[in-house]
Amino acid sequence: MACLLAGAADRAFGLPLSHSPRPELRPAGPVASGADALIEAARLGGKIGFVVADARTGAVLEARNPILRLPPASTAKAVTTLYALAKLPPDYRFQTRVLATGPVRGGRVEGDLVLAGTGDPVLDTDTLAGLAAGLKAAGVREVAGKFRYFAGALPHLKVIDPEQPDHVSYNPAVSGLNLNFNRVLFEWHRASAGWDVTMDARSNSYRPRVGMSRMRVVNRQSPIYTYDDRAGTDDWTVASAVLGNGGSRWLPVRKPALYAAEVFQTLARSHGIVLPAPVATPALPQGTVVVAHDSPALRELLADMLKYSTNMTAEVIGMTATYAAGGHPVSLSGSAAAMNDWLDETLGIRRARFVDHSGLGSGSRIAPADMVKLLVAAGPDGPLRPLMKPVWLRDAKGRPVKDHPVRIRAKTGTLNFASALTGYVTTADGRELAFATFMADEERRAKLDRASRERPEGGRSWATRARTLQLQLIERWATLYGA
C-alpha cells in the first residue's frame, strides 16, 4: 500500500514518504499481448515504455520496459510542479516593482528610477502599461538620475536549450525580468520596394515597437533566419524568398531585461513621463516602492504552465524553487540537479536525470516506473491532478469525446520523435489509475541536424501515431482494470 505524504492531501508535495512502495509486476501474458498488438500497429520504431498502476495503492497492473529511462519531454513539467509546491508556498507570487532612490518633488524623482523584477514569467505589455499608469498616478513626470533595470533575482540564460534552432519562440532566454514570455512579434507587409517590417511587444491593447531586436530582409533562399548578438542588440535577418505578401511570427528575445525596460520606457512616454535610456544595474538599489504588480498565485501559474506547456514558466518557477530552498545555481542544469536530489531524498528515485525544468533539453531521462511512483505518492486527491488539463479519448474519426465516462487528467510531452503522456485516469466505475507512457526513436532523433529540428521530415506523422497509441492504451487499461 502506497502512502501519501505527511499532512492533508491539499498540502504541498514536500515531505518524505513513510515508506516507498515497490509492488510486484504482473507476469506478462494474454493481457499484455493486447498492448503489443497496438504497439505493432502504431509502427513507431524505437523504444516504448509504460506503467499503469492503481493510483491509491501503487499496485502495478501492467508494464512494458518499466525501468527503461526515456526522454520525458514536457511531462517533466509535472515533476517541476510538485518540486515547486514542495519548496514554495501555494500562494507565492512574483512581484515587479518600480523604485525611486530619491524623493519625488514636484513630479521629479530626485534620484534614479528602477524597474526591478523577481522573474515573473507571465509579465506582459499590458501589465507594464499598468505600472506606467501607476507611476503617473503617483505624480512622477521626470527623473533627475538614471533609469535602471534590475534582473538579478535569477541568472540570465540566453537560451533554455542550445541545441534548438535560433528562431524558435519556445526556446527563449530566461532572467529575473521577463516580458511576453520573452518573445517579440516580427511582422511584415509587401511594400513598393521590398517589405515593411516591424518588431513589437504586441499585447491585447498595445503594440510598442522595440529597438533592441532588429530585423533585416536579405535576398536569399536559405537559411530562413539568422541571429547575431551585435552591440547589445538581437540582430536578425530573414530570407526574402519565404516572406510572400505579409505575415507575422513570434521570435525569441535573448536580452529580456533590456526588452522589458525599453518597452516600459515607451509606455511611460505615452503618459508624459520622460525616462532616459535604460541601463542595467547588477545590484538592487535601496529605494521607495512607487508602484508594484504581483503575479497570479503559484497554483494558477502552474495550471497555465501545464495547460499551455510554457517552457519559460517552467524554468523560472523551477529555479525560483531551488533558490527558495537555499540553492544558488547559475544554470538550468544546476537547478535541475537540485530537483534530482529532491526526487532521491523524497522518494528514493535515484535514476531520474533532468537537465532543466521544462523537458526541452534532450538529455533528461526518467523511467515510467519512477514517474508513476511520483504520481502515486502525490495521490489522485493531491495537489497535482487538479492542475493537469483534461485529455479526451477519441472516436473512430479522431474527434474528442468529451462526455466519455473515462476521465483523464494528464500532461503531454512532445519532442522530435519523442512523445510522452503521464497522469491520472478515472475509469467508468470510479477506479483511479496512474500511468506514464514514454516513446522515443532516439536513432532518428540523433540524425537530425540543428536546422531541421523545428519541423523534421516525418516528425508530425510520427507524433500523431504516438498520441493515438497512448490514447488506445489508456482506453484499454480503463476497460481492463476498472474496479
Query: Residue 20 pLDDT more than 70?
Result: no
Cα 458 to Cα 418: distance, rounded to the nearest angstrom = 12
Residue whose C-alpha cell is 532523433: 445
Write out the H or E segment, with its range, that includes residue 311.
helix 311-324
* Per-residue pLDDT, 33: 59
* Per-residue pLDDT, 193: 85
Evaluate whether 419 touches 470 at the Cβ level (below 8 Å).
Answer: yes
Write out the H or E segment, with its range, that includes residue 319.
helix 311-324
More confident position, 28 or 384: 384
Query: Residue 129 pLDDT more than 80?
Result: yes
Average of pLDDT values for 62-81? Answer: 97
* Per-residue pLDDT, 454: 83
Measured in whole angstroms, how far is the alpha carbon of residue 142 from the centre of its chain?
Answer: 38
The mean-pLDDT minimum among 69-78, 83-92, 443-452 falls in: 443-452
- Percentage of the chain exceeding pLDDT 70: 93
The mean-pLDDT minimum among 42-51, 208-217, 392-401 falls in: 392-401
The alpha-carbon radius of gyration of the chain (Å, integer) is 24
* Per-residue pLDDT, 30: 43
Task: Indicate the pairing of strand 95-100 with strand 288-294.
Answer: antiparallel
Cα 39 to Cα 84: distance, rounded to the nearest angstrom = 35
* Per-residue pLDDT, 449: 85
Query: Over the stretch 234-289, which tens digit does the pLDDT of each residue have?
Result: 999 999 999 999 999 999 999 999 999 999 999 999 999 999 999 999 999 999 99
Query: Over the stretch 151-169, which tens digit does the pLDDT of each residue have?
Result: 999 999 999 999 999 999 9
Average of pLDDT values for 288-308? Answer: 98
Q: Which of 200, 224, 202 is nearest to 212 (CA)?
A: 200
- Percentage of the chain exceeding pLDDT 90: 87
Instruction: Return all residues near 113 (Cβ < 8 A) that are at least 6 apart.
Output: 98, 99, 100, 101, 140, 143, 145, 146, 147, 148, 275, 290
Where do runs of H (alpha helix) occur along 46-184?
Answer: 76-87, 125-137
Helix 368-378 vs helix 76-87: crossing angle, to nearest 10: 40
* Per-residue pLDDT, 214: 97
The mean-pLDDT minimum among 13-22, 373-382, 410-419, 437-446 falls in: 13-22
- Compute the mean pLDDT over every residue in the chain, rounded to the nearest whole number: 92
Query: Over the stretch 321-333, which tens digit does the pLDDT of each residue have?
Result: 999 999 999 999 9
Average of pLDDT values for 405-425? Answer: 97
Task: Indicate the pairing of strand 389-391 with strand 407-415.
Answer: antiparallel
Cα 483 to Cα 478: distance, rounded to the nearest angstrom = 9
Query: Over the stretch 420-456, which tens digit does the pLDDT of each residue have?
Result: 999 999 999 999 999 999 999 999 988 888 878 888 8
Evaluate whether 50 touches 473 at the Cβ level (below 8 Å).
Answer: yes
Evaluate whether 305 touches 413 at the Cβ level (below 8 Å).
Answer: no
* Per-residue pLDDT, 21: 41
Supply 397's cell numbers: 474519426
* Per-residue pLDDT, 319: 98
